[in-house]
Amino acid sequence: MWILEAIISGLSQPFELLFNPSSRIYWLYSLSSILIALIFLYVTNGRNIRLAVKPLISSNLWLTRSSALDGFWLFTNSVIRAVFIIPYAFSYASGAVFVHQWLLGVFGTAPQMDLPTPMVVAVFTLVFFIVGDFSRFLLHWLMHKIPVLWQCHKVHHSAEQLTPITLYRMHPVEMALYYFRSLTVFSGVVGVFLYLFAGKLSGFTVLGVNVFVFLFNVLGANLRHSPVALSYGRFERWFISPVQHQIHHSTDPRHFDKNFGSVLAVWDRMANSWFSGVGVKKLSVGLDTQTSSNTNVSVAPSMRDASRKING
């Protein structure tokens, strides 16, 4: 009976994402992304509202096999997570308590650091964001560099059009790895801060979400998987823009293994994988006949002709 309940829960979870502020496609983030996209497309298309709206509602974007597969993977992974992962994994709170108790057992009571509560809150918020962002970069980098992981990650790169739902298009193994990445970061960072500042631990949040993550989402994160080639100009050296992530999906060999980052571009600059999106307007996305650089793993040759154009 519990399996049936878990399956039903998994099937309902995608609809709940629209009302969950920790979800990328939360209604507020989706609405803000639409507004940003309309303003950008209106300005770049000669202030023509018809040309601004057309790329966002095109049937060539939404009513395609690629978009249907995005939805398939969203629901499939939700069920897999509900049936095979959540019932057997630590909860986030349990993970943090485990780390806290382990530190107490190994090092004893933490030395007293009489820091003002606002300072502790600010440091925790920043550290949590930086560690989380770096961990996403590192796992994404590994998905490209380790052949067996690339075979899984190819599912995400097989998208022939990019929509916000493409975020959830991933192999179950990759989905599980990202779940445990999130669990590990939360447990580690929160556990350490509980140990050091037990009575003062909290973070700057908006709607219960880390303030930096909230800003990232509300300022157009959904445009990363979209036909809107929005660049941040000179700020791209510090923050990954939507078009920079679209470059990551490009079939152009110059773009292979570029722009792994989620929010901060500093990790890509350190890894020599940063590629500017300034001036980029048209890209073909999907898998290509080329091999993923540094992996020597061939990708599906039939996908190149099926690639679609992204019009910025």
The candidate with the shortest Cα–Cα distance to 285, out of 263, 301, 304, is: 304
d(CA 245, CA 96): 32
Which comes out higher in pLDDT, residue 4 or 23? 23
d(CA 75, CA 206): 28
All structural domains of the chain with their residue ranges: 2-311
> Where do we find the tokens 């292979």?
256
**pTM tops 0.85:** yes
Q: What size, in residues, is the chain?
A: 312
The candidate with the shortest Cα–Cα distance to 88, out of 172, 6, 171, is: 6
Paired tokens of 93? 């709170």
Paired tokens of 236? 């791209």
Residue-wise pLDDT for 213-228, tens only, equals: 999 999 999 999 999 9
Q: What is the mean pLDDT of the chain?
A: 89
Eight-state DSSP code of residue 175: H
Which comes out higher in pLDDT, residue 307 or 292? 292
Q: Residue 274: is its pLDDT beyond 50?
A: yes
The per-residue b/e assignment along 25-55, b for 16 or more CB within 10 angstroms, e otherwise, is: bbeebbebbbebbeebbeebbeeeeeebeeb
